[in-house]
Amino acid sequence: MDRRLPRYQLLRDQLAARIAALEWRFDEPLPTEQELAASYGLAVGTVRKAIDVLEKEGALSRFQGRGTFIRRANFDRSLLRFFRFLDARGRRQIPQGKIQSRKTKRPPAHVANALGIEAGIAALQLKRLRLIDAKPLVSEEIWLPLSRFGKLEKLPIDDFGNLLYPLYESLCGQVVARASERLTIDLANDSDIETLKLQDAGSVVVIERIAYGLDGSALEWRISRGNPGHFSYTVDIR
């Protein structure tokens, strides 16, 4: 801890560490600003400024009359921002996830850099399909630091389930708080054609995601490659 930093920044770092350690539950409020001020021997204004920073960073949410809570991001429907998935009856659905493979190996340089992994250090690689009615629609390559997700090395593949982020939290104590995504279009490669059952070597929609924990560190690098026939981007402009 750098004591040269402003007091509110030092407090922000201390609170961030406690949040990352899950010292407070998601459904219970943090101590009030007055209680934190008394606990740390600081002015209420200093505490408020530290809370403001954590709120702007997306770690906390304030609710009038209820208090300040750790913010839990909702990623369950994130793919629906970019794709429109329909079942055999034409109803919108969220694809199911199925792990295809799991390996412990050295990640490519750009992945290691994104995750803050030193060169030559192994990480966990997952390959997953997203399906509706057993039809593959999106393929995913996921990389995770072993230092945080070592418990997933021996977990039976069938126990991964449909949603990964709840598993990260329950088994490894790692909470995904936010993520950044970049969308591009790429030419379909041989793997895309085979995995996604594409008719020809046309294009695929590519979404690269870096997910971050409550402490701001990178937890997951993921690239999703999807059938462009399901692509649908919607945005509200106000």
The string of DSSP codes covering the chain is --TTS-HHHHHHHHHHHHHHTT-S-TTSPPPPHHHHHHHHT--HHHHHHHHHHHHHTTSEEEETTTEEEE-----TTGGGGTB--B-TTS-B-PPEEEEEEEEEEPPPHHHHHHHTPPTT--EEEEEEEEEETTEEEEEEEEEEEHHHHGGGSSS-GGGS-S-HHHHHHHHH---EEEEEEEEEEEE--HHHHHHTT-SSS-EEEEEEEEEEETTS-EEEEEEEEE-GGGB-------
Residue 135: what pLDDT? 87
Evaluate whether the domain defined by 7-70 bears CATH number 2.40.128.630: no
Residue 230: what pLDDT? 75
Residue 31: what pLDDT? 95
* pTM attached to this predicted model: 0.77
Smallest Cα–Cα separation from 24: which of 78, 68, 55? 68
Residue 38: what pLDDT? 96
Residues 214, 18 contacting (CB under 8 angstroms): no
Residue 8: what pLDDT? 94
Give the residues of the chain that fall short of pLDDT 70. 1-3, 74-84, 86-90, 233-238
CATH 1.10.10.10 domain position(s) in the chain: 7-70
Residues 161, 76 contacting (CB under 8 angstroms): no
Task: Give the fold, CATH level 3, of 78-230.
Answer: Chorismate lyase (3.40.1410)
CATH 3.40.1410.10 domain position(s) in the chain: 78-230
